[in-house]
Amino acid sequence: MSAAGKAPATLAEEETIKPQTAPEGQNKLPIVVPPPISKSAAAPDPKRSWWKWALGGLAALVLAALIYFQPWATPPVAVLVETVAPGPVTRVLAVNGRIAGVRSVDVQPLVSGTLVDVLVAEGDKVIPGQTLILLDTAAQQAFVRQAMAGLDAALVAQEDAVAALARTRALGNTEARVVLESATRAEQTAAQEVARMTALLEQAEIQLAKFTIHAPIAGTVLALQADPGQSVDPATVLLTIADLGQLVVETDVDESYATQIRTGQPAVLQLSGEDAVHPGHVSFVSQRVDTDTGGLAIKLTPDEALTAPIGLTVTANITVDDRASAITVPRAAILTDATGDAVLLVKDGKAMRRAVKVINWPAARLIVTDGLVAGDTVIADATGLADGQAVKVSP
């Protein structure tokens, strides 16, 4: 190609075209030298391309992992669940009480005085009317003698009045009418005085009898707080007598459960220090709640005779409800707020709130009367969880 037919060269190309002179004897034509290839137009480096693909793939993996795991989102909470299934349920109320006698009496004196003699000791068995304690009767016996003397004087006066009236009547019309009336009134007054003094004597003798203390019931002397020489009054408890042949357990229940306790309900009794249990039943329910303690007094009677000291602690389980089929959930599964009671179910990986009705009772599991059906999956412990929160079931 001739130089005349060549396209105009760029500045860079012009710098690289250097005309050379041919040797002598040859045609003198310019020699064209191709320009060098610039670095920008060179073929790509294989090593650099490999690193670009590796970094791009790693970025794609990281992006996919972020989308899948979503670390900015709250992770689901692992929860334990129960599948609802009806079954037999028994509601039991546990209480502590003490052994007491069906008949128990605190013996107190009816009069004030000085204790002279104690005729029984703790543990003695007594019968009704048996003499237990003697008080000093010296002062009261003086009242009795005084009353007897007054009655004697009244009787003498009555005899004189009767005799005077008889004489007056014997005289007939010879005595004035006013004399007869006076004798009659004197005889009546004497009779009234005799009646008054007789009553005083009877009263003194009755009072004297009170200085001797007798057993009011048959039983055993449980406690004795009486010593010779002791001054006592009607407020002093001298001894306690109880019939140990008939024992009961005395206790009380909180007023929250007062309306659910009824006579005849079965109970299981366990005496302190024993492993054996004894059947019994509720035999008495008070109709009054103690306003100071909020307790309702009840008594439990063993179904079989027990031998135990008065005051012994007894643990009793009272069966207040027995159902052949009912739904129960753990107490921790119940959420309570202003709207009422509810549980949390697991659905599509989230906690779903459902309102329920339960029987509130001091037990680890509560009976659900409405809101759940067989097969529902309930979160066993809903503490700290909220409706709609992401959860996952623990294996």
pLDDT given for residue 10 in this prediction = 43
Instruction: Determine, yes or no, domain membership for 280.
Output: yes
Report the pLDDT averaged over residues 296-303: 95
Q: Examine the domain organization and report whether 263 and 315 are in the same domain.
A: yes
Report the pLDDT averaged over residues 249-271: 94
The two tokens of residue 386 are 């909220």
pLDDT given for residue 128 in this prediction = 94
Instruction: Determine, yes or no, domain membership for 343.
Output: yes
In degrees and rounded to multiples of 5, residue 68 shows phi and psi of -75, -50
Report the pLDDT averaged over residues 353-379: 93
> Which CATH number does the domain housing residue 117 bear?
2.40.50.100
The per-residue pLDDT for range 25-59, each reduced to its tens digit, is: 455 555 555 555 555 545 555 656 666 777 777 77
Q: Examine the domain organization and report whether 109 and 222 are in the same domain.
A: yes
Helices (H), the chain: 11-16, 46-69, 138-171, 177-209
> Which CATH number does the domain housing residue 283 bear?
2.40.30.170
> Which CATH number does the domain housing residue 343 bear?
2.40.420.20
Number of domains present in the structure of the chain = 4
Q: Examine the domain organization and report whether 241 and 108 are in the same domain.
A: yes
The per-residue pLDDT for range 72-111, each reduced to its tens digit, is: 556 888 999 999 999 999 999 999 999 998 888 999 999 9
The two tokens of residue 310 are 């008065």
The rounded distance, in Å, linking the Cα atoms of 199 and 151 is: 9
Instruction: Determine, yes or no, domain membership for 197.
Output: yes
pLDDT given for residue 182 in this prediction = 87
The per-residue pLDDT for range 109-128, each reduced to its tens digit, is: 999 999 999 999 999 999 99
Question: At which of 256, 285, 320 does a domain end?
Answer: 320
pLDDT given for residue 75 in this prediction = 81
231-265: b or e for each residue (b if 16 or more CB lie within 10 Å)?
A: ebeeeeebbbbbebeebbbbbbbeeebbeebeeeb
Q: Examine the domain organization and report whether 194 and 143 are in the same domain.
A: yes
Instruction: Determine, yes or no, domain membership for 53.
Output: no
Q: Examine the domain organization and report whether 225 and 111 are in the same domain.
A: yes
Q: Examine the domain organization and report whether 88 and 107 are in the same domain.
A: no
Report the pLDDT averaged over residues 359-377: 92
Q: Examine the domain organization and report whether 231 and 123 are in the same domain.
A: yes
Strands 391-393 and 77-79: parallel
Report the pLDDT averaged over residues 205-233: 94
Residue 379 has pLDDT above 50, yes or no: yes
Q: Examine the domain organization and report whether 347 and 233 are in the same domain.
A: no
Instruction: Determine, yes or no, domain membership for 125.
Output: yes
The rounded distance, in Å, linking the Cα atoms of 181 and 174 is: 14
Instruction: Determine, yes or no, domain membership for 37.
Output: no
Q: Examine the domain organization and report whether 356 and 370 are in the same domain.
A: yes
What is the extent of the structural domain holding 120? Answer: 103-133+214-245
pTM, to two decimals: 0.61
How sure is the predictor about 155, in pLDDT bands with cuts at 50, 70 and 90? very high
Residue 5 has pLDDT above 70, yes or no: no
Question: At which of 281, 298, 320 does a domain end?
Answer: 320
Residue 252 has pLDDT above 70, yes or no: yes
Q: Examine the domain organization and report whether 275 and 167 are in the same domain.
A: no
Q: Examine the domain organization and report whether 307 and 334 are in the same domain.
A: no
How sure is the predictor about 17, in pLDDT bands with cuts at 50, 70 and 90? very low
Q: Examine the domain organization and report whether 201 and 229 are in the same domain.
A: no
Question: At which of 297, 320, 343 does a domain end?
Answer: 320
pLDDT given for residue 227 in this prediction = 92
User: For 215-356, where are the E strands, in sequence order?
Assistant: 219-224, 231-232, 239-242, 247-254, 266-271, 278-289, 295-302, 313-330, 335-337, 340-347, 350-355
Instruction: Determine, yes or no, domain membership for 382.
Output: yes
In degrees and rounded to multiples of 5, residue 129 shows phi and psi of 90, -5
pLDDT given for residue 66 in this prediction = 67
Instruction: Determine, yes or no, domain membership for 111.
Output: yes
